[in-house]
């Protein structure tokens, strides 16, 4: 089994996997196999006897990522590792220790912060609109993960929220906390705060946790907040067996309290730390990596990505296209996607990425006009959709009756009774959406292992629903760059690279623009085989994004045919071939 944990790894990955004693920092660039390294390192530790599975905690940021980690560990023969999100781990500890500390069960969790805020606002005579309440909810989250008191928060956010002054925002937050206490509830951030407080105040609890967990791995370490970092310190105690994995260039949640400093300063905080750099990218064509490297050149902590040596370059230089307006951009992108599908490319391997959700509607319409179905990432989960739930219930009901035909044919017959036709309806609209969902259920049945029974199939669907293991619909994906982080497609269309969109208009400070640059980097590195970039001038007479100018034309080719719709010719090129952004260069 030990050999399995060490197979299929490159030299740097092997170095990281063999570094079983902390502190260890794995600086893992996009597409360099970080999840593989994390799971193989844990498996190698278990195989060699260095780790006991029940004493390993692997922490990540999403339930889906934690589920994937557990699945990969199972495939390596490792069971019993605690692979969870920060919140899931903290909540489990609260639920375990709270009854013995307080003589009662742990408080419930707030299911809708905005609704609770609305009730709190009513109690103090405020009538903010829903958008303001959402912004206040975000402010509460930021304050708590930043570990700030209300007074310290007010000093740092003097402008208030919307039409609410900072004093009224503070009043609303106090009313929210009071109402939450009266209802005996905790919000998402309170779970971390309460767990940290419990570990600090109760030495016997801290001793129990330190005895249980001795080896820690933290994925996406660039996204850790001050509160999460404090909780991690409390979990560790005086132990040093910590492995952190992250990429400074993919820090895109600073607005929510994430701090890349913990990753960048790890080696100085731990002078004896082993630092391993993973820079061989197994996802993207070399031409795409050249664009990403040029964008992040000279940025703090940036890694220089290189394509897998055995992978031949398959495509020409990525292309940038300019359009007269947003509608023309959407039509142009849709036409190119139509041509890609006509050439045999699976729609599931194509994505359109943008900065904000507001940009999606134009592309949904343009794709529908081309007869192409699309799915907007970040909507309701697949297994929560009514058509999917209806389909699973009907299949489960059919599983108790005698089966007269084959398994797949039975699934097809059940779904046909619910409206699945041989040919899809016209793209766009609820009927096509429902067809795509039922077709996805049929495809899952067709991909099931030989000998699968209908009951086993429905049990598997239920298990996937619990673990948020979503199937890919046979549609083109539309997503914000934030939602696309951690995902990949063969063909990516990165749209809206204009000033005011990417970087977004409200990014005015150096730090805010730098975060927007990292967003663009994440968007670029989602692409495996082809990358198409576009922007539109529109009624606001937008200019091309400064990031296009920083990248320059050595790695990003301008499409002459689209230039007639609003030229995106970079200006300010230096003799080195670099392009300077509006208002000066990249440095402070």
**Cα separation of 525 and 441, whole Å?**
30
Pick from 335, 353, 322, 320: nearest CA to 527: 353
Token pair listed for 76 = 């390596």
Token pair listed for 168 = 């009224």
Alpha-carbon distances, residue 161 vs 129, 170, 173, 505 (angstroms):
11, 10, 12, 18
32 is in an annotated binding site: yes
Q: CB under 8 Å to 324, separation ≥6 — which residues?
A: 536, 537, 538, 565, 566
- What are the DSSP calls for 345-407, one per residue? --GGGEEEEESSGGGHHHHHHHHHHTT--EEETTSS-GGGSHHHHHHHHHHHHHHTSPP-S-H
Residues constituting the chain? 588
Contact status, residue 219 vs residue 70, Cβ threshold 8 Å: no
Q: CB under 8 Å to 373, separation ≥6 — which residues?
A: 347, 367, 424, 427, 428, 432, 433, 436, 473, 474, 475, 476
33 is in an annotated binding site: yes
Identify the H or E element spanning 229.
helix 226-236
Alpha helices in 55-165, H assignment, sequence order: 63-75, 86-102, 113-123, 130-145, 150-156
217 is in an annotated binding site: no
Identify the H or E element spanning 464.
helix 454-466
Q: CB under 8 Å to 226, separation ≥6 — which residues?
A: 145, 146, 147, 257, 259
485 is in an annotated binding site: no
Token pair listed for 93 = 């500890």
Alpha-carbon distances, residue 170 vs 34, 133, 157, 190, 299 (angstroms):
41, 13, 10, 17, 37
Please, what sign has the CA dihedral across residues 574, 578, 580, 586? negative
Query: E strands along 16-85, which residues?
Result: 24-28, 56-60, 82-85
440 is in an annotated binding site: no
Token pair listed for 236 = 């560790």
How far is the first Cα of the chain from the last one, in angstroms, to the nearest whole number? 51
Identify the H or E element spanning 268.
helix 266-269
Contact status, residue 333 vs residue 476, Cβ threshold 8 Å: no
In the three-class reduction of DSSP (H, G, I as helix; E, B as strand; rest coil), residue 501 is classed as strand
Contact status, residue 447 vs residue 416, Cβ threshold 8 Å: no
- C-alpha 500: how far from its chain's center? 23
30 is in an annotated binding site: yes
Annotated binding site for ATP: 28-35
Annotated binding site: 28-35
């Amino acid at each position: 089994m030990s050999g399995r944990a060490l197979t299929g790894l490159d030299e740097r990955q092997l170095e990281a996997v063999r570094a079983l004693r902390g502190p260890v920092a794995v600086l893992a660039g996009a597409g360099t196999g970080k999840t593989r390294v994390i799971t193989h390192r844990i498996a190698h530790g278990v195989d060699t006897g260095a780790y006991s599975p029940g004493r390993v905690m692997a922490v990540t940021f999403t339930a889906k990522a934690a589920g994937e980690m557990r699945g990969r560990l199972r495939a390596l023969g490792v069971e019993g590792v605690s692979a969870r999100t920060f919140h899931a781990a903290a909540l489990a500890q609260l639920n375990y220790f709270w009854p013995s500390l307080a003589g009662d069960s742990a408080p419930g969790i707030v299911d809708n912060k905005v609704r609770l805020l609305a009730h709190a606002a009513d109690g103090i005579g405020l009538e903010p609109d829903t958008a303001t309440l959402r912004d206040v909810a975000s402010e509460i989250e930021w304050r708590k993960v930043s570990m700030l008191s209300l007074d310290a928060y007010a000093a740092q956010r003097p402008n208030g929220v919307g039409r609410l002054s900072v004093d009224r925002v503070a009043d609303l937050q106090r009313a929210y906390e009071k109402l939450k206490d009266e209802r005996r509830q905790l919000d998402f951030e309170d779970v971390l705060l309460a767990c940290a407080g419990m570990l600090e105040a109760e030495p016997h609890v801290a001793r129990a946790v330190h005895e249980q967990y001795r080896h820690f791995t933290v994925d996406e370490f660039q996204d850790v907040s001050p509160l999460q970092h404090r909780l991690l310190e409390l979990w560790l105690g005086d132990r040093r067996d910590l492995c952190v994995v992250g990429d400074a260039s993919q820090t895109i949640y600073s607005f929510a309290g994430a701090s890349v400093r913990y990753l960048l300063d790890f080696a100085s905080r731990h002078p004896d730390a082993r630092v391993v750099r993973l820079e061989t990218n197994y996802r993207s064509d070399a031409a795409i990596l050249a664009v990403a490297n040029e964008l992040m050149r000279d940025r703090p902590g940036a890694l220089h990505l290189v394509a897998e040596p055995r992978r031949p370059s398959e495509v020409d230089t990525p292309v940038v296209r300019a359009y007269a307006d947003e509608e023309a951009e959407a039509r142009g992108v849709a036409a190119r996607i139509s041509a890609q599908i006509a050439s045999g490319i699976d729609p599931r391997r194509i994505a359109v990425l943008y900065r904000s959700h507001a940009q999606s509607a134009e592309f949904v319409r343009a794709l529908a006009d081309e007869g192409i179905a699309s799915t907007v990432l970040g909507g309701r989960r697949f297994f929560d959709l009514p058509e999917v739930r209806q389909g699973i219930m009907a299949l489960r009901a059919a599983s108790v009756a005698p089966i007269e035909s084959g398994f797949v044919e039975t699934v097809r017959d059940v779904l046909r009774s619910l409206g699945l036709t041989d040919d899809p309806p016209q793209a766009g609209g609820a009927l096509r959406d429902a067809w795509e969902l039922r077709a996805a259920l049929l495809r899952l049945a067709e991909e099931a292992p030989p000998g699968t029974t209908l009951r086993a199939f429905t049990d598997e669907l239920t298990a996937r629903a619990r673990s948020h293991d979503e199937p890919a619909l046979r549609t083109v994906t539309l997503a914000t760059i934030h939602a696309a982080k951690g995902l990949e497609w063969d063909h990516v269309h990165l749209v809206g690279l204009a000033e005011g969109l990417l970087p977004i208009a409200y990014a005015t400070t150096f730090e805010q623009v730098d975060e927007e640059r990292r967003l663009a980097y994440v968007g670029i590195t989602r692409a495996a085989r082809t990358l198409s970039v576009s922007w539109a001038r529109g009624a606001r007479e937008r200019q091309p994004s400064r990031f296009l100018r920083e990248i320059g034309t050595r790695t990003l080719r301008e499409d002459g045919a689209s230039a007639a719709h609003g030229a995106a010719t970079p200006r300010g090129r230096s003799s080195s071939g670099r392009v300077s952004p509006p208002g000066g260069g990249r440095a402070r």
